[in-house]
Amino acid sequence: MKKQTIINMTPHAVTVHFEKCANCGDTRIHGTDLGYWDEGHAGGMGACGDMHQWVEEVRKFAPSGQTIRLEMETEPRRPIDGIPTSVIKFGEPIGLPEQADGVYYIVSQIVKSACPERTDLLVPTDVMRDTNGNIVGCRALGR
Ligand SMILES: [Zn+2]
């Protein structure tokens, strides 16, 4: 497979918890049967058939130090019940690198939504929280 690189463009570490087969390296989403099997795997079940040896795997992406922000404009609107209201208009992304083969960027959902033509932007999905509600990781990267 061609080399693939994932660069975290958010200010926070992103931790992905998943399961990986100790034999063949196939992966699936943590706590599910959801795996993506490449064509050529017998029966669509991956290289080991239904005999995968799933082990927990964690990949941590430290912040790269670069971030992407969106141009932003605040337009005040008529107050509701005496409370000021506004509409925020988002513009062009600032700091978004050119798309490059095999390079993917972890970004916020708002940046991803602002750039629907970019296929190289990933967001943490299926977020995992501890008992206090703090985000401790995610189970996949959303494309
Ligand atoms: Zn396997």
- Report the b/e string of 99-131 with b at 16+ CB within 10 A: eeeeebbbbbeebbebbeeeebbbbbebebeee
Whole-number pLDDT of residue 116:
94
pLDDT of 43:
47
How far lies 132's CA from each of 29, 31, 69, in Å?
23, 21, 29
35: containing domain: 5-142
Would the pLDDT of 68 be above 50? yes
Mean pLDDT of 71-98: 96
**Over residues 91-119, mean pLDDT:** 95
- For residue 27, how far is its CA from the centre of ligand 1 (angstroms)? 8
Asked whether the beta carbons of 48 and 22 are under 8 A apart, the reply is no
| Per-residue model confidence as pLDDT tens digits over 26-38 | 889 998 888 887 6
- Give the CA count within 13 Å in the CB-facing half-sphere of 71: 5
Q: How many angstroms is it from 52 CA to the middle of ligand 1?
A: 4
Single-letter code of the amino acid located at 2 = K
Q: How many domains does the chain have?
A: 1
- 51 CA from centroid of ligand 1 (Å): 7
> DSSP H helical segments within 97-140, as ranges?
109-114
Q: How far away, in angstroms, is 7 Cα from ligand 1 center? A: 27
Measured in Å, residue 50 CA sits from the centre of ligand 1 at 8
Q: 39 C-alpha to center of ligand 1: Å?
A: 14
pLDDT band (50, 70, 90) for residue 120: very high
φ/ψ region of 138 (left if φ > 0, alpha if ψ in -120 to 50, else beta) reads: beta
Per-residue pLDDT, 66: 96
4-52 pLDDT per residue, tens: 999 999 999 999 999 999 988 888 999 888 888 766 555 455 567 678 8
